[in-house]
Amino acid sequence: MTDRELIAVLDDASVRLDRVLRDHAQAGALAFDVGRPASELVLLEALASIGRAGAGTPVSFSRSESPEQSEAADQALLARLLEQISTIAKIETQASGRLVVSTKVGLAGDLTTTIGPSASPTDLALHSKLVDQTLRVRYARIRLLIATVQTAAKIAVAVGTGNLHSALLAAWRFIHAVVEESAPVRA
């Protein structure tokens, strides 16, 4: 999935989230609709479970893992995502085993590029493509994290528990499920 496709999927996830939260608020209880995508059913289940649990422990919805394993895996994924967007990126281009161009991307998105004396126009063009690709991936990851946090805030408000931990895990599962549903099937 390209970065542009991911951003479109995240926009769609936001619209779907608002619809599910509206339906949940109007129904007052779970109303499973067989026509809903799996991601929305998981979210409805999460809303009901978090609401029942109140400020209790986080709820897991994984069918193949224990709640503790699923929660640990979700937390690890979120931690990795946060680490990837908060660390300084370094892009290097080498020619004949020597470093010819290097760019550091700061936390605020500032770029510092060092061009060696032996860098050719081909090296610079390749490096430019690598920097562009790195920044696109970084932007998509930032959007993914922002969408997850926004979704978590909406879930926490919708269920009225203030349990941001449970809401964050439910939000991650929903966003991840929407992305998986939208990913092209690979043979």
CA separation for the pair 119, 99 (Å, rounded)? 9
Higher pLDDT: 180 or 73? It is 180
Token reading at 62: 């994984």
pLDDT at 86 over 80: no
Q: What is the pLDDT of residue 3?
A: 77
pLDDT tens for residues 17-71? 988 888 877 765 445 566 778 888 888 888 877 766 554 444 444 444 555 666 6
Q: What is the pLDDT of residue 58?
A: 44
Q: What is the pLDDT of residue 164?
A: 73
Higher pLDDT: 107 or 129? It is 129
Q: What is the pLDDT of residue 186?
A: 46
Which DSSP string corresponds to 133-186?
HHHHHHHHHHHHHHHHHHHHHHHHHHHT---HHHHHHHHHHHHHHHHHHHSPPP
Number of residues in the chain: 187
For tokens 């422990």, the residue is 57
pLDDT tens for residues 125-169? 999 999 999 888 888 888 888 898 899 888 888 887 666 778 888
Question: Do the beta carbons of residue 37 and residue 179 sit within 8 Å?
Answer: no
Question: Do the beta carbons of residue 116 and residue 100 sit within 8 Å?
Answer: yes
User: What is the pLDDT confidence band of residue 113, given thresholds at 50, 70 and 90?
Assistant: very high
Starting at the edge strand found earlier in the chain, the sheet holding 89-95 runs 89-95, 98-105, 111-115
What one-character DSSP code corresponds to residue 66?
Answer: -
